[in-house]
Amino acid sequence: MQIPGPSLLNPGLPHVEPHVMAWAQKVELLSAEAAEQARRERHIAFAGHVWPWAPPERLAELSRLALWMFAVDDRSDARGDDSGAVDTELQAMMRIVTCAQDAVPEKAPATLRVLAEVVPRLADHMSPAWSDRFRRHLAEWIHTNRDMIRRRTEGGIPTPQAYVAWRRVSGAVGWCFDLTEYAEHAELTELVWSSPACRRLRDTAADVICWTNDLFSLGKELRTGETSNLVLILQHHHHLTLQDAVNEVHRRLSWRITELSAAIASLQTTALAMNLTVQEQASVDRYVDGIRAWARGFLDYCQESARYAEAPVPPAKGRTVEGPHLIHDTRGRAAVVSEEY
């Protein structure tokens, strides 16, 4: 599986990681056992891969929210008697994110206290419109975790079309792309962000990222009986063998990787026709670099993290996933570059 582009890692990661891990244990977001899991699965390195140019103070905030995201994701895997309590906790998170709840009790679960601490600090750096969409996307992602709990109980399997739209939200890329603007000091104007070209880029990149994740996590889903995976959705609805479903996801992923370059070019062309200021155009360029780095960085994270200990299921012999070479960042920003892949 290939997502072309340089393998980048934020050079601030070695300094930021121990401080953020200590914070996570102090606020009780992570127990000693969960902290060991986070180190083994490299949860903070995830932030270093997908936001490679964030300055250290911003990387620290992004890493805090990344730890929170993984903690919520793991909590949402709860089954049986625990699922009701987790759903209640998720509802409380949505109230915090949407400002429907002003105060969080000191004895509230750490996932709630962390949200109440970190999200306002991030929002302080955002315009009102940017902050609103970030909060909206974050609330929508939290809601998808409730969907997964409900789906396990009801046993329903969505159609492929419904799943693809839902997966763009459940993959957390919506609010993470909003934070790419924060990492890059690159707020997009509303005119650019709401344009069809920018929507196309976000949707295409989301599909590349989420379908990559589905291939890497397939083994885990097969072990646990989870059905929220494009391979299993296609297998069910199109009556495929597992290998044929894997091949089909590889084929679709190859197509979306090709589309990613076209979507980038489309947004750049659209922005040039908008008569933007120099600063606004620079934000578009940085955003494009950030989305491109996110897609490649997520693949790098999946390849190194113990979270996906089993290799992704490959296509049948003779089937390969390739894509066009993506344009690398040209502004000389510092990042550790690996030529391994």
Task: Report whether 73 contacts 37 (CB < 8 A).
Answer: no
CA-to-CA dists, residue 129 to 119, 135, 263, angstroms: 15, 10, 24
pLDDT of residue 329: 44
Task: Report whether 240 contacts 248 (CB < 8 A).
Answer: yes
The sign one gets for the Cα dihedral 177, 179, 185, 190 is positive
| DSSP-derived 3-state class of residue 150 | helix
Task: Pick the range with the lowest mean pLDDT from 31-45, 66-80, 112-126.
Answer: 66-80
What is the 8-class DSSP label of residue 9? E
Report CA dihedral (327, 321, 172, 158) to the nearest 10 degrees. 140
What residues does 69 pair with on adjacent strands? Answer: none
Task: Report whether 187 contacts 181 (CB < 8 A).
Answer: yes
Task: Report whether 56 contacts 15 (CB < 8 A).
Answer: yes
pLDDT of residue 123: 95
Report CA dihedral (299, 20, 109, 43) to the nearest 10 degrees. 20
pLDDT tens figures, 4-14: 778 999 999 99
Q: For 5-60, list the strands marked E by DSSP.
A: 7-9
pLDDT-derived band of residue 106, with 50, 70 and 90 as boundaries? Answer: confident
Q: What is the mean pLDDT of residues 67-84?
A: 83
Output the pTM of the full model: 0.90
Distance, CA of 280 to CA of 287 (rounded, Å): 11
pLDDT of residue 311: 55
Mean pLDDT of the chain: 89
**Burial grade of 297 (CB within 10 A; 0-12, 13-18, 19 or more):** buried
pLDDT-derived band of residue 327, with 50, 70 and 90 as boundaries? Answer: very low
End-to-end CA distance of the chain: 10
With 60 as the cut, is the pLDDT of residue 334 above it? Answer: no
Task: Pick the range with the lowest mean pLDDT from 16-20, 22-26, 74-78, 272-276.
Answer: 74-78
pLDDT tens figures, 205-239: 999 999 999 999 999 889 888 889 999 999 999 99
Supply φ then ψ for residue 262, to 5 degrees: -65, -40
With 60 as the cut, is the pLDDT of residue 332 above it? Answer: no
CA-to-CA dists, residue 230 to 132, 157, 246, angstroms: 30, 11, 9
Q: What is the mean pLDDT of residues 273-299?
A: 96
| DSSP-derived 3-state class of residue 337 | strand
pLDDT of residue 76: 84
pLDDT of residue 137: 98
With 50 as the cut, is the pLDDT of residue 309 above it? Answer: yes
Residue 308 one-letter amino acid: Y
